[in-house]
Amino acid sequence: MINIVIPLLVLIFCLIYHIKKVSTVYIFLLFMILNAGFHTTAVGLYLVPIMYFSLVISYVLITKSERIKSFFKLCIPVLFSLPYVLLKAYILFFTTTVGSKEIVTVFENYQYLITFKNVFLASNYGLLLLYVISFLFILIFADRLHKGVFCFSSIILMLTFLNPFIDNFVANNITGVAVYWRLFWLLNIPMTIACSFTLFVERIKIKYIKPVIICFEIILLYFNGTIIFRNQWDYFTLPENKYKLDENTVQIVNAINAHSDNEEVLLLVPMDWSYGVREYCGNIQLINNRYVDSTFVAAGLEDDLQKLYDELINPLYTEKIWNASQLDTSLKYFHIDYVALYTESINQNALPDSFTEIKAAEDFVLYHID
């Protein structure tokens, strides 16, 4: 969704800036793109509207004529999309039980920079440096079109939904704590960098300098880190964590696949790590994920859902205190093959005899249930 729908939105707004008019054709295209985003994933319910909001406000503020008229025209796709959005929101958010509320983690303000550094950037500061330089270059030297799409829309995001002073409210009431970091996707960092490089090359007038600059930019991207390939002196290989996922998630998945020979298994992990497992691997099924409530309710298994929270999720990951015999019984009841426990909680509790340690790390220990 983020690699297709968001670039399409940016493209249409580039065309609108270019012709300086919100035509009927573009209204229809925006309506189709919004609906594509809403139909893709549950994440599209908030990422697409937030991106659309920033692009619309940016355009309305920059355009010098027919501001009010343009604003109302750009609201038309939203109005036609509302019925489906409200229906999907109702299904996703109002037809679940309240069991999960017991394990919700509150997003504190100090987590903003930590989330940006660890989860979104994966400590890749080279990419951040390139983005800041590219952003400033576009802001200073580019035309109104590029400033509006790549700079002003990002500034609006930083003043509203990505504002560190209201991140607590946004994370806990709009996006959800565990996936707040996905809002950083809307800064369009790769597109901003690519756009600034293109504009920079266009500004060069000396005949033989352009090839040199292009080669320099390619080298700069190459040495930025393991974005795509890692240099092993005489050959190239894909990096171990090319998707920039949480390192704990990568270690857990790799350990399970090595132990199970890539067979389909059922895993229990803390909710924060479940998102990375779903992105990284398809053969590992998750007993707890962001759809756990709606899945159990839709199957008429409300009692099992409550049992899952009371006997596994809450004791293991919230209270971090459990009974070994009860834990063994509950894991086998749900046919769970692997469980990851916080390292800090293991010394305080006894483990069932059915546990076989697969991998130990600083933050977790992974066990196979025999």
State the pLDDT at residue 313: 92
Q: Which of the pair, 245 or 288, is modelled with greater confidence?
A: 288
- Examine the pLDDT at 164 and tell me if it is beyond 90: no
State the pLDDT at residue 316: 94
Count of beta carbons in the 10 Å neighbourhood of residue 168: 18
CB 126 within 8 A of CB 181: no
CB 343 within 8 A of CB 360: yes
Q: Which amino acid is at 337?
A: D
Q: What is the mean pLDDT of residues 151-160?
A: 94
Task: Note the Cα 71 to chain centre separation in Å.
Answer: 29
CB under 8 Å to 99, separation ≥6 — which residues?
Answer: 293, 305, 306, 308, 309
d(CA 309, CA 97): 11
CA R_g for the chain? 24
State the pLDDT at residue 97: 40
d(CA 110, CA 73): 39
d(CA 90, CA 339): 32
State the pLDDT at residue 146: 93
Q: Which of the pair, 242 or 218, is modelled with greater confidence?
A: 218
CB 181 within 8 A of CB 119: yes
Q: Which amino acid is at 128?
A: L
Q: How far is CA 370 from CA 41, 331, 336, 366, 367, in A?
A: 36, 10, 10, 13, 9
- Examine the pLDDT at 174 and tell me if it is beyond 50: yes
Percent over 70 (pLDDT), the chain: 81
The tokens describing 182, both together, are 């996905």
Q: What is the mean pLDDT of residues 114-136?
A: 75
State the pLDDT at residue 213: 73
d(CA 323, CA 351): 8
Band the pLDDT of 137: cuts 50, 70, 90: very high
pLDDT in tens, 45-89: 788 999 999 999 999 998 877 788 999 999 999 999 888 878 876
State the pLDDT at residue 229: 47
Tokens 């909710």 belong to residue: 271
Task: Note the Cα 322 to chain centre separation in Å.
Answer: 32
Of the ranges 94-98, 163-167, 244-248, 289-293, which is most confident?
163-167
State the pLDDT at residue 167: 81
- Examine the pLDDT at 228 and tell me if it is beyond 80: no
Q: Which amino acid is at 188?
A: N
Q: Which amino acid is at 151?
A: C
Instruction: Specify the 3-state DSSP secondary structure of 131.
Output: helix
- Examine the pLDDT at 104 and tell me if it is beyond 50: no
Q: How far is CA 75 from CA 18, 222, 319, in A?
A: 20, 42, 47
State the pLDDT at residue 2: 72
Please measure the distance between the N-terminal and C-terminal CA atoms of the chain and give it in whole angstroms. 39
pLDDT in tens, 327-337: 999 999 999 99
- Examine the pLDDT at 365 and tell me if it is beyond 80: yes
> Which of these, 323, 337, 135, lies nearest to 255 by C-alpha position?
337
Q: Is the dihedral of CA 366, 325, 310, 267 positive or negative?
A: positive
- Examine the pLDDT at 105 and tell me if it is beyond 50: no
State the pLDDT at residue 94: 58
The tokens describing 80, both together, are 């036609």
- Examine the pLDDT at 8 and tell me if it is beyond 80: yes
CB 365 within 8 A of CB 340: yes
Mean pLDDT check: name the lowest of 8-22, 104-118, 199-213, 298-312. Answer: 104-118
Mean pLDDT check: name the lowest of 5-19, 32-46, 91-105. Answer: 91-105
State the pLDDT at residue 122: 60
Instruction: Specify the 3-state DSSP secondary structure of 266.
Output: strand
Tokens 């469980």 belong to residue: 339
Q: What is the mean pLDDT of residues 242-257?
A: 83
Percent over 90 (pLDDT), the chain: 41
The tokens describing 294, both together, are 């709606």
Buried b (16+ CB within 10 A) or exposed e, 268-280: bbbbbbbbbbbeb
d(CA 152, CA 165): 19
The per-residue pLDDT of the chain, averaged, comes to: 82
